[in-house]
Amino acid sequence: MSTVIDVSELGKQYRVYRKHEGLRSAITHLFRREYTTVDAVKSISFKIDEGEIVGFLGPNGAGKTTTLKLLSGLIYPTSGQATVLGHVPWKRENAYRRRFSLVMGQKNQLWWDLPAQESFRLHQAIYKIPADEFERRVDELTDLLEVRKLIGQPVRELSLGERMRMELIASLLHNPRVLFLDEPTIGLDVVSQKRVQDFLKYYQQQQKITVVLTSHYMKDVESLCKRVIIIDEGIIHHDGSLTNLIDRFSRFKVIALQFREGIVPDDLSRYGEQLASDFGTAKLKVEREKVSEILASILERYKVDDITVHDRPLEDVFAELFSAQRSQKVAG
């Protein structure tokens, strides 16, 4: 399998103007400004093969969007190298622009007051898509995303979920081989999120395109990604399978219990941290090594109708990971 994205020691720094309070400082800064250098991305390296869908994850300000902008050629790096489909992104060659697409959940590429179909026509002209291929792809994508009847409406009249589906269509009309997705489901309701997830999974499997996804919704990651890269403060902290991530950083499991009498015992906290309880059900966070021992003790003491054991939500795993790393940094 060939490498599509190859990043080596890639870095991006910004000079940030420092402004102090007070009139005297304001006057002083008219003549002599102070700047601070901020490392948005610090010499990161990774490779992504053809047909992979990779989650690129981290907290706000971690460097995710900066990395996608570098790989899309929107900004120039301070150091390092990268190629995507054999092209250096910041050279902005037309041959490269026709082979990738960037979708940003918080930025629109469609004309607000025009129907989506008019923006689609503009994309057809920009990417020089043959008429028959254009019509075929519009029909296919609008059917898959269930928006065929909406393409004649002005974009401003569509719901947020409908607009995002139109954005996805616009980004895929020229049949890109690499798709960068920056928070594609941000702000969407659960139903819209599920539609976008199902579409992306189906389309990626059918077309074998390479996808890099950033998201704060862990359902996106769990649904779509087998591999994840975690970045924090511009540094990569993990690159591997999602399963290995959970095994490596999550020391706990969650036990969900349904009690026969419909009453949750008062002393469950002896077994672990009680996360929730209502209507005869309770959830406990317990150390994974003690799951069998704790279950045996609970079943011996109480009448339980149903038990499920599962991993903790990825949000909790990531919060634990970043919190531990920052604590170590402060302690050091």
The C-alpha atoms of residue 121 and residue 135 are separated, in whole angstroms, by 10
> Of the candidates 31, 107, 124, which has an alpha carbon nearest to the alpha carbon of residue 69?
107
Q: How many domains does the chain have?
A: 2
Same domain, 66 and 211: yes
Q: Which domain CATH number covers 306?
A: 3.30.70
Distance from C-alpha of 207 to C-alpha of 138, rounded to nearest angstrom: 16
Which whole number is the average pLDDT over 144-151?
93
Q: Does residue 170 carry a pLDDT above 90?
A: yes
pLDDT digits (tens, 9 = 90+) for 258-268: 988 788 888 88
- Asked if residue 264 and residue 296 are part of one domain, the reply reads yes
Q: How far apart are CA 220 and CA 238, in angstroms?
A: 18
Residue 196 is assigned to a structural domain of this protein: yes
Q: What is the DSSP code string of 129-189? A: --HHHHHHHHHHHHHHTT-GGGTTSBGGGS-HHHHHHHHHHHHHTT--SEEEEESTTTT--
**Stated pTM of the model:** 0.80
pLDDT higher than threshold 70 for residue 331: no
- Name the 3-class secondary structure at 32: coil
Q: Residue 26: is its pLDDT beyond 70? A: no
Its domain, for residue 288, covers: 251-311
- Domain stop point among 191, 213, 247: 247
- Phi/psi for 192 (5° steps) reads -65, -40
Do residues 203 and 261 share a domain? Answer: no
Residues 197 and 60 in one domain: yes
Query: Can you give the CATH number for the domain in which 175 is found?
Result: 3.40.50.300
Average pLDDT over residues 243-249: 74
Predicted pLDDT of residue 243:
81
Domain limit, last residue, from 204, 229, 247: 247
**Which of the four pLDDT bands, split at 50, 70 and 90, describes residue 329?**
low
Strand residue runs (E) in 61-106: 79-84, 100-104
Q: Which of 230, 247, 264 is the last residue of a domain?
A: 247
Per-residue pLDDT tens digits for 110-133: 888 999 999 999 999 999 999 999
